[in-house]
Amino acid sequence: MTKTAICAGSFDPPTDGHINIIERGLKIFDKLIVAVAVNTSKNSIFTSEERVAMLSEIFKNHKNVEIDSFAGLLVGYAKKRSIYTILRGLRSAGDYEYESQLVLANKTLDPEIEIIYMMTEGKYAHLRSSVIKEIISFGGSGCGMIHPTVETKLKEKFGNKKI
Ligand code: ADP
């Protein structure tokens, strides 16, 4: 039996922290569906199509990674795909607070859902999409934090392609 999990998030943009969770997740699961959330309350810099395109480029050589997007509730998407295991990453106590609410809400909506957490590797503990956006917007380098594809796309967004 193939073990598949959904790795859901905003990925606005994907960082090396996300990539690390997905790559490590592949040691546990046979297949991962990386699902980009379309309707988040967050103000996204990238459209869902752009986020899907970046993730597709990053994982183009991984046959066992599928990139998809979903609108609405994660439980609805899980049901549609008949996959009830969700993989998420944890960085800090702050993440824990937020994620424990997410688990309870999702479990209330659908008790079949199981959300599995992987602790971040130390060097990614500080990495979050919002910090990356700020660094690149001020002309900094994303080296060691984001995939070159993501850096190029971010620089295009901020119009500072020459740095
Ligand atoms: P969301 O808006 O759903 O929180 P994110 O794209 O911010 O989506 O994050 C998706 C998942 O990836 C979350 O579980 C988040 O905790 C995890 N994540 C984000 N950055 C890192 C990181 N640097 N290390 C480990 N996990 C991370």
Query: Among residues 10, 48, 69, 129, which one is catalytic?
Result: 129
Query: Given the structure tokens 């395109």, which residue do they identify?
Result: 53
Q: Is 11 in the pocket of ligand 1 (CB under 6 A)?
A: yes
Residue closest via CA to ligand 1's atom 7 equals 10
How large a percentage of the chain has pLDDT more than 70? 96
Query: Given the structure tokens 């796309």, which residue do they identify?
Result: 153
6-58 tens-digit pLDDT: 999 999 999 999 999 999 999 999 999 999 999 766 689 999 999 999 999 99
Give residue 18 CA to ligand 1 midpoint distance, Å: 6
How confident is the model at residue 160, as a pLDDT?
53
Q: Is the pLDDT of residue 131 over 80?
A: yes
Query: Given the structure tokens 């869902």, which residue do they identify?
Result: 48
Query: How much is the mean pLDDT over the chain?
Result: 93
Residue closest via CA to ligand 1's atom 24 equals 17
Q: Is 25 in the pocket of ligand 1 (CB under 6 A)?
A: no
Q: Is 21 in the pocket of ligand 1 (CB under 6 A)?
A: yes
Say whether the peptide bond before residue 13 is cis (omega within 30 degrees of 0). yes
* Dihedral sign of CA atoms 49, 55, 57, 62 in order: negative
How confident is the model at residue 122, as a pLDDT?
86
How confident is the model at residue 1, as a pLDDT?
84
Distance CA 159, CA 57 (A): 21
Joined tokens for residue 112: 């079949």
